[in-house]
């Protein structure tokens, strides 16, 4: 190992030790399942805002998004970023305060399946069961993408084997999550959002310098047809522009629809200590998201400029997602201090990965211990026993995710894209109708959830491969299909009881 690599490892090691220390400190505050899964509803506005967005962005921000921009230009990445920015703002504006209030009134729900079941008075517990299964189905591969990102980081930079690197990273994440639960995840996410921001800015500035300046970067990409267009993409194989039609724009922009169905984000809304502080949280979150998404796309463009300047080799396929890692490696060659700074960049990638993986692990664990064991199976277990099951579930899910992440050639962007569509379509419409439509009922919610999840798979693997007008992001058709089913089934079946209606009016009063 070189001197530069040693300095980078020092930065990374200090960061990881700090995360574990936070997990240990927060573990002292977990007295019951409510504390472990929702932090006792005592998050402040800054932690709520930054932990929500850090848990949202994941390694996708520092690896997936720049990689897409590097390969095909700003169009695909740009419309995705715009959709996410708009979706972030609208989610905070319309959903945040209402879910915080409603989840408290509806039986003090501490998980999303809890809320759906309590909201519709579902005595059959089918709504809770299917919600928990959706979380497991889509969160396990989502978590695997995070583990894979960590493995790629260490493998590409330090020349170590991908498998052990991925496993060690996963152990760290599992360690502080099982110790500190939701409070540890939220606190570390807040710190990780700061580290991510610093990393992005360092890569942006250093990348422009290495590429020869802003003008040189612009000159390089202007030579590529469609690279800087918002209506076409650059095809590296044919070296020509490919049209990006209106349907492609709508389907990519539809990424924003996914926000109202993301359990790890919705839980942050539910956990804030005071719903009135959500306004401040919304402003903080929106500004941070807009800035970081813009920088993420720019890093992809600058990365191409770095390859043209000879500072970095041409990247192909999934290797394009390692731009930030390779930039850190370049920086580390300038001396001890730059190597320490490069370590901060790498810690930023770890932060983006860990901030999402810890939240996903908790949500998946809660679906098993809180919703399936205690909710559906009605198992009589003590709070201490519930905590043991919760932590054990985190370990089991992590092992499954590590098994899925064993392939180093898997694309972080592709995995995240599919899981995002799954949650957005299965939970998004149900959440919106449960919060804003008094006439929606349990049958409609259950039918909509099943439809949304099923259409994601059907569209992804059967319809989209047809091509043409059918080649659109699966979230959009699945979201629309689920919404239509919720309306149709709710109207065709018995109206909600007076008790449910009065509770709805109390929340919206």
pLDDT tens for residues 454-464?
A: 999 999 999 99
The predicted model scores a pTM of 0.81
Tokens 């606190």 label which residue?
187
Model confidence over 308-318: pLDDT tens digits?
Answer: 888 888 887 76
- Please give the pLDDT value at position 390: 72
Q: What pLDDT score does 132 carry?
A: 87
**Which of 12-16, 178-182, 212-216, 366-370 has the lowest average pLDDT?**
178-182
Q: Above 60 in pLDDT, residue 35?
A: no
Q: Examine the pLDDT at 207 and tell me if it is beyond 80.
A: yes
- Angle of helix 45-59 versus helix 263-271 axis, rounded to 10: 170
Residue-averaged pLDDT of the chain: 82
Mean local confidence (pLDDT), 473-480: 92
Name the percent of the chain lying above pLDDT 90. Answer: 23
Residue 43 pLDDT more than 80?
Answer: no
Phi, psi of 313 (to 5 degrees): -70, 160
Outline where DSSP puts E strands in 166-295. Answer: 232-235, 240-243
* Residue that is written with structure tokens 């903080």 in the block: 284
**What's the rounded Cα separation, in Å, for the pair 256 and 241?**
26
Question: When comparing pLDDT for 83 and 321, which is higher?
Answer: 83
CA–CA separation, 267 and 280 (whole Å)? 17
What token pair was written down for 304?
């191409």
Eight-state DSSP code of residue 43: B
State residue 270's pLDDT score.
83
The pLDDT assigned to 195 comes to 77
Token pair of 443, please?
């049958």
Q: Which residues pair with 246 in a beta bridge?
A: none
Greatest Cα-to-Cα distance within the chain, rounded to the nearest angstrom: 71
Least confident window among 103-107, 166-170, 198-202, 354-358 = 354-358
Question: Quick check: 9 and 340 in contact, CB under 8 A?
Answer: no
pLDDT of residue 439: 95
Q: Which long-range contacts (CB under 8 A, 24 or more apart) does 242-246 make?
A: 244/75, 244/76, 244/79
Q: Please answer whether residues 150 and 170 qualify as being in contact, where contact means their C-beta atoms are separated by less than 8 angstroms.
A: yes
What average pLDDT does the segment 396-414 reach? Answer: 76
Does residue 40 register a pLDDT over 60?
Answer: no
Give the residue carrying structure tokens 């240990």. Answer: 24
- CA-CA distances (angstroms) from residue 468 to 62, 231, 245, 463, 464? 31, 16, 10, 10, 9
Domain 3-408, what architecture? Up-down Bundle (1.20)
CA angle 27, 33, 36 (to 5 degrees): 35
Contacts of 262 (CB under 8 A, 6+ apart): 56, 420, 423, 424, 427
Give counts: helices (H), strands (E), the chain. 21, 2
Q: Which residue has the tokens 């978590």?
A: 143
SS3 436: helix
> How much is the average pLDDT of 154-176?
75
Per the DSSP assignment, residues forming a β-bridge with 232 are 243
Residue with structure tokens 């995995």? Answer: 415
Residue 37 has pLDDT above 60, yes or no: no
At residue 234, φ and ψ (nearest 5 deg) are: -90, 130
**Mean per-residue pLDDT, 28-53:** 63
- pLDDT value for 28: 61
Higher pLDDT, 244 or 373: 244
Predicted confidence (pLDDT) at residue 18 exceeds the cutoff of 60 = yes
pLDDT at 450 over 80: yes
Residue 464 gets which letter from DSSP?
G
Considering 28-42, 138-152, 245-259, 397-411, the range whose residues carry the highest mean pLDDT is 245-259
pLDDT at residue 161 greater than cutoff 70: yes
Per mean pLDDT, which of 143-157, 246-260, 396-410 is the most reliable? 246-260
Q: What is the mean pLDDT of residues 159-164?
A: 78
pLDDT value of residue 17 = 78
Q: What is the pLDDT of residue 39?
A: 52
Other C-beta atoms lying within 10 Å of the C-beta of residue 432: 20
CB atoms within 10 A of CB 19: 26
Residue 5: CB atoms within 10 A of its CB come to: 17
Q: What is the pLDDT of residue 115?
A: 92
Query: Would strands 240-243 and 232-235 be described as parallel, antiparallel, or unpaired?
Result: antiparallel
Determine the Cα–Cα distance for residues 175 and 210; give it in Å rounded to an integer: 38
Position 469 pLDDT exceeds 60: yes
Q: What percent of the chain is predicted at pLDDT more than 70?
A: 84
Q: Which of 8-12, 33-37, 51-55, 103-107 has the highest mean pLDDT?
A: 103-107
Q: For 91-100, what is each residue's pLDDT tens digit?
A: 999 999 999 9
Q: Between these two residues, 24 and 287, which has the higher pLDDT value?
A: 287
Question: Which parts of 440-474 fold into alpha helices (H)?
Answer: 442-458
- Return the higher-pLDDT residue of 200 and 424: 424
Give the residue with greater pLDDT, 242 vs 64.
242
What are 404's two structure tokens?
Answer: 């899925």
pLDDT at 452 over 90: yes
Predicted local confidence at residue 354, as pLDDT:
67
- For 32-43, what is the mean pLDDT? 57
Give the lowest-confidence range in 60-64, 171-175, 184-188, 503-507. Answer: 184-188
């Amino acid at each position: 190992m070189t001197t530069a690599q040693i300095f980078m490892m020092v930065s990374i090691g200090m960061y990881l030790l700090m995360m574990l220390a936070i997990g240990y400190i927060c573990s002292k505050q977990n007295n019951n399942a409510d504390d472990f899964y929702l932090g006792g509803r005592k998050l402040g506005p800054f932690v709520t805002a930054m932990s929500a967005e850090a848990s949202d962005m994941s390694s996708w921000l520092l690896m997936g998004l720049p990689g897409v921009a590097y390969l095909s230009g700003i169009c695909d990445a740009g419309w995705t970023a715009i959709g996410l920015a708009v979706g972030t703002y609208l989610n905070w504006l319309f959903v945040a305060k209402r879910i915080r209030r409603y989840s408290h009134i509806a039986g003090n729900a501490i998980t999303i399946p809890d809320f759906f079941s309590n909201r519709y008075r579902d005595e059959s517990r089918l709504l809770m069961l299917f919600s928990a299964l959706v979380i497991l189905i889509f969160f396990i591969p989502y978590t695997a993408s995070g583990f894979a990102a960590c493995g790629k980081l260490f493998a590409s930079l330090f020349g170590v084997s991908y498998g052990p690197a991925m496993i060690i990273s996963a152990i760290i994440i599992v360690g502080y999550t099982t110790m500190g639960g939701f409070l540890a995840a939220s606190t570390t996410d807040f710190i990780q959002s700061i580290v991510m921001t610093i990393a992005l800015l360092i890569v942006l500035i250093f990348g422009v310098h290495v590429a020869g300046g802003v003008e040189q970067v612009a000159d390089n990409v202007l030579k590529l047809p469609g690279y800087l267009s918002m209506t076409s993409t650059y095809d590296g194989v044919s070296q020509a522009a490919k049209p990006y039609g209106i349907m492609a724009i709508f389907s990519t922009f539809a990424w924003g629809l996914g926000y109202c169905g993301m359990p790890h984000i919705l839980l942050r809304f539910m956990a804030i200590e005071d719903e009135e502080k959500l306004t401040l949280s919304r402003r903080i979150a929106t500004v941070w998201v807009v800035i970081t998404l813009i920088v993420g796309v720019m890093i992809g463009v600058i990365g191409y400029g770095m390859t043209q300047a000879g500072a970095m080799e041409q990247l192909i396929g999934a290797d394009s997602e390692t731009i930030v890692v390779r930039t850190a490696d370049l920086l580390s060659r300038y001396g001890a201090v730059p190597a320490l700074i490069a370590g901060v960049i790498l810690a930023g990638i770890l932060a983006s990965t860990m901030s999402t993986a810890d939240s996903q692990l908790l949500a998946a664990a809660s679906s098993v211990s809180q919703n399936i064991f205690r909710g559906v199976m009605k198992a009589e277990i003590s709070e201490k026993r519930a905590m043991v099951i919760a932590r054990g579930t985190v370990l089991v899910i992590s092992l499954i995710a590590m098994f899925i992440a064993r392939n180093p050639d898997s694309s972080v962007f592709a995995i995240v894209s599919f899981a995002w569509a799954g949650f957005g379509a299965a939970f998004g419409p149900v959440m919106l109708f449960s919060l804003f439509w008094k006439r929606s009922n349990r049958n409609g919610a259950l039918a909509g959830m099943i439809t949304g999840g099923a259409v994601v798979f059907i569209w992804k693997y059967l319809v989209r491969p047809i091509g043409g007008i059918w080649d659109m992001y699966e979230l959009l058709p699945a979201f629309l299909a689920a919404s239509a089913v919720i309306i149709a089934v709710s109207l065709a079946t018995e109206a909600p009881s007076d008790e449910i209606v009065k509770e709805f009016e109390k929340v919206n009063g």
